[in-house]
Amino acid sequence: MGVLAEKYEMLNTCNKCGFCHTACKTYKVDGAEPMVSRGRIQLIKAVVDGKIEPDADYEDAINSCLLCGECAVACPSGVSAKELVMAARRDLKLRKGVKPFAKSYALNTLANPHKLERAFKLFGGLGKNVLKKVDGMDYFRGVDIKGMNVARVPFLNQVPERILVAQPKHKVAFYVGCFLNFSLDDTANSVVKVLTKNDCEVIIPKDQVCCGLPQYAYGDFETAKVNARKTIDTFLAKDVEAIITACGSCAAMLKEDYLKLFADDASYLPKVKMFCAKVKEFSEYMAEIGVDESKFHNSAPVKVTYHDPCHMVRGIKVKTQPRQMLKSLPRVEYIEMFEADRCCGASGLVQAFYHEMATNITRQKAKNIQDSGAEVVATSCPACIMRLQGGINMAGGKQKVMHVADLMAKAYED
């Protein structure tokens, strides 16, 4: 039975009511039926039924989906268009491989830490110097590339594998993720600072690799499984109570998608379940163990709002914990923005290959931020941080986008 045939019953649960039109951000930008969940589902069904071939237009409809999950919330039948689109991408991969070459190259680079490090070094050196001399290249496809940080030394090379504390109450492992390692190393250091301030001994395995989400999202399960096995075996070898990640996207992959990826591997699945049960998103874990607020220091007053990453709010259902952390900080005035859980338009490689659509989605998010009156936008996903900062800068806004861990770490500064 083919990948899509296995989903045939789910395809038929869509009653074509159109409630997804109110939620789908790609439809609101494009206005075409193939760019909304109902349309995508009918296209997938037509391919399964042999009524149409998966041509270029079909591929655009499938690959432009943000996988944000907002449509499933609006759907009276609870149809997961995200799951169906993922199946369609897997089907496309099996039929044609990952296309175009640029996407395939990007996914292969992300999967290999050595290639990724070389790519960041090239961008941080020669690449940024070239960009500075090119007019109109402040932003590339909606991303503030001139302002994008590149770590001088990857975070994993900055720290020892084991960080001790005087009186440990907890022992955790830190899954860093690609962008915290190579770009947002200050945020990675903030995570460690907050954990150690709260009496956590931190293990940071040096041989970490990409979690496999980019490859998984485009149907390359084979590569995703290689990285997933490496991650699971590496971290389960450490005697820790929890595996912490400060990336919402990684958290969803590590915590939930690994179970789907290995669902048909009966011999390895018990190990996967053991691993997934230990995974905690950073703010989720801090809320669980309780933050030592007595160590906080007063800082300048600041108005803060929060952006919900899609993988967190609709994926692993972590919503209240980041807000709880922010509200615990001294002299923070928390403001809830309109549509805080609205997708920012990043969505992995969608922003690169459908940049005009993504930029329009980001523009609305930037307006919501501006209207909130906040000075700082906190979030929990590196991709969202870069996307939001670029959108705010392009709109002429002054707000700074920060990770929740960075704001917490500042509160611990003497």
Look at residue 130 in the predicted model and tell me its pLDDT: 52
* 376 CB-near residues (< 8 Å, 6+ apart): 302, 303, 304, 305, 399, 400, 401, 402, 407
What angle do helix axes 37-48 and 81-96 make, rounded to 10 degrees? 40
Q: Counting runs of H as helices and runs of E as strands, what totals does the chain give?
A: 24, 9
Fold that domain 5-96 belongs to in CATH: Fumarate Reductase Iron-sulfur Protein; Chain B, domain 2 (1.10.1060)
Place of tokens 């001399």: 133
Q: Which among 201, 244, 188 has a CA at the least distance from the CA of 409?
A: 188
Give the residue extent of every domain in the chain.
5-96, 295-411
12, pLDDT greater than 80: yes
* pLDDT band of 258, cuts 50, 70, 90: very high
Alpha carbons 384 and 312: distance in angstroms, whole number: 12
* pLDDT band of 147, cuts 50, 70, 90: confident
At residue 346, the 3 state secondary structure works out as coil
Q: Which residue has the higher pLDDT, 358 or 278?
A: 278
Look at residue 143 in the predicted model and tell me its pLDDT: 65
- For the CA atoms of 238, 244, 250, 251, what is the dihedral angle to 10 degrees? 110
Look at residue 1 in the predicted model and tell me its pLDDT: 53
Please state which CATH number belongs to domain 295-411: 3.40.50
* 233 CB-near residues (< 8 Å, 6+ apart): none
Look at residue 24 in the predicted model and tell me its pLDDT: 93
pTM of the predicted protein model: 0.94
Look at residue 413 in the predicted model and tell me its pLDDT: 80
35, pLDDT greater than 80: yes
Q: Flag the least confident range among 98-102, 366-370, 400-404.
A: 98-102
- Read off the pLDDT of residues 338-371 as tens digits, 9 standing for 90 and up: 999 999 999 888 888 888 899 999 999 999 999 9
Look at residue 142 in the predicted model and tell me its pLDDT: 58
Q: Flag the least confident range among 40-49, 101-110, 134-143.
A: 134-143
